[in-house]
Structure formats: structure tokens, C-alpha cells
Amino acid sequence: MRIDIITVLPELLKSPFEASILKRAIEKGLVEVHLHNLRDFSIGNYKQVDDYQFGGGAGMVMMVEPIDKCISKLKSERDYDEIIYMTPDGNTLNQGMANEISLKKNIIILCGHYKGVDQRVRDMFVTREISIGDYVLSGGELAAAALCDAVIRLLPGVLNDETSALTDTFQDNLLAPPVYTRPADYKGFKVPEILLSGNFPKIEKWREQKALERTQERRPDLLEE
């Protein structure tokens, strides 16, 4: 998979790909992540990428021309399956979407800033608009990093234990059950007996039950879907 990220703040997107699972995925050649500084496609001597909005009102708007230049250059080099715009008014990211996007070959992620991008960018290029939750970030970069993480860890070969993404919270619309490691008794807080029993069918049943209870209690909406 290849991911091209368009941003005015590439430095914000360096470190997420320089540690742990994402770093290893890149080193193994399972994903390529390319950052593009929108200012390299700016117009005029002032490296302008944003401007006042027509009709008045506070806040700047990201201009269509630099984004067009950047996206058009990328599209002239290869085909893209998706051009995703990170924005708080997009569809809320969920595991199903991450699964879908993980099957794509080449994607572009556009990070919004200020009041967002000129609507014509959305009309001309964007295939999908994604929010990572009902709160407003200073820009789309951290949202893009979250999306990349959710997607990249699903690519075959990225996780050591191939099954571990399958037992994640949300993968089957259930939250994950509680987990424990040593010691079996910590200051009187004990690990449930069943987990020490070695009876794996019973342990599996217990986990399913706990996952269901936790989902009913915290996220009953998931069970209705």
C-alpha cells in the first residue's frame, strides 16, 4: 500500500511513522508513506496556501489551486483508489472503514487547516471525508496519523501474531474482554480463577461473556448495529 499525505505541517506527521509498528511496517516494505508539503505548491512570493473567505467571516480557507497542483502531480504519477479529506464534518471513522481502506493500493490523505478547504477541492477531488470524532483538532494531521495507524496495522504481515488484529476490540462489533498478566495476585487484586484453570473452551466462553457484558454496559449501540 502507498499513502501520500498532503499537509501544511509535515513535521507533525514525522514521528508517528518513526516508532514501533508503523516504523516496522515501512521497513518491511508493507507500506510506503510520503509526506507532501502544500507550501511547495503555493502561489506567489509569499508561499500562500490560504485566503479570506468569500462572503466574509472569521478564519482562513485553504485555496483550491495549490491543492489542485499537488493532487494533479500525484495523479499524473499513478492511479489513486481514494482521496480522503480529514475533517470534523466527515463520517466518523470506525473499524469497518479502516478495514475497507486497508484493501486499497494507493490513497491520498488531505489534512485540513483553518476553516478547512475551499468546497471546490471537495467537489473536484475528494472521494471520502473522515472525522475521527466529534471534537475539533487544530488540523487534520493528528487525525490522519490516527487513520494511518488504524489502517496500516491491518495490512497482512504488519502484526507479528496474524490473529491479533482479528481479536481487537470492534473487529466483531464487540469491545475486548479484560486481560491479565503476572502476578496472579497483586495486593489482593486477583486474576479470575477461570483464566488460571487451563480449561481453554471454558476460558473462551468466559471471554465471550465478558466482551458481551462490557459492550452492553459501555457501548450498547454496537449491539444494535
Residues in the annotated binding site for S-adenosyl-L-methionine: 112, 132-137
Piece of the chain touching ligand ADE by CB under 6 A; list 21-29, 86-94, 152-160, 202-210 = 86-94
Q: What length does the chain have?
A: 225
Nearer to ligand ADE among residue 128 and residue 207 (C-beta) = 128
| Residues 123 and 167: beta-carbon distance below 8 Å | no
Instruction: Provide the 10 A C-beta neighbour count for residue 144.
Output: 27
Does 8 bind ligand ADE (CB under 6 A)? Our answer is no
Distance CA 74, CA 163 (A): 35
Piece of the chain touching ligand ADE by CB under 6 A; list 42-50, 80-88, 98-106, 157-165 = 80-88
The alpha-carbon radius of gyration of the chain (Å, integer) is 22
Nearer to ligand ADE among residue 137 and residue 212 (C-beta) = 137
Nearer to ligand ADE among residue 27 and residue 134 (C-beta) = 134
- Sign of the torsion angle spanned by Cα atoms 211, 170, 141, 31: positive
In whole angstroms, how close is the CB of 116 to ligand ADE at the nearest point? 8
Does 165 bind ligand ADE (CB under 6 A)? Our answer is no
Contact positions with ligand ADE (CB under 6 A) in 33-62: none
Distance CA 104, CA 106 (A): 6
H/E segment holding residue 33? strand 32-37
Contact positions with ligand ADE (CB under 6 A) in 99-128: 112
Give the residue, chosen from 21, 136, 166, 223, that forms a contact with ligand ADE under the rule CB under 6 A.
136
Does 140 bind ligand ADE (CB under 6 A)? Our answer is yes
In whole angstroms, how close is the CB of 192 to ligand ADE at the nearest point? 37
Does 131 bind ligand ADE (CB under 6 A)? Our answer is yes
H/E segment holding residue 106? strand 106-111
Residue for grid cell 516504523: 23
Residue for grid cell 479484560: 178
Residue for grid cell 485540513: 112
Give the residue, chosen from 9, 137, 191, 203, that forms a contact with ligand ADE under the rule CB under 6 A.
137
Give the residue, chosen from 13, 86, 126, 174, that forms a contact with ligand ADE under the rule CB under 6 A.
86
CA atoms within 13 A on the CB side of 183: 5
The contact set with ligand ADE (CB under 6 A) reads 86-88, 112, 131-133, 135-137, 140, 143
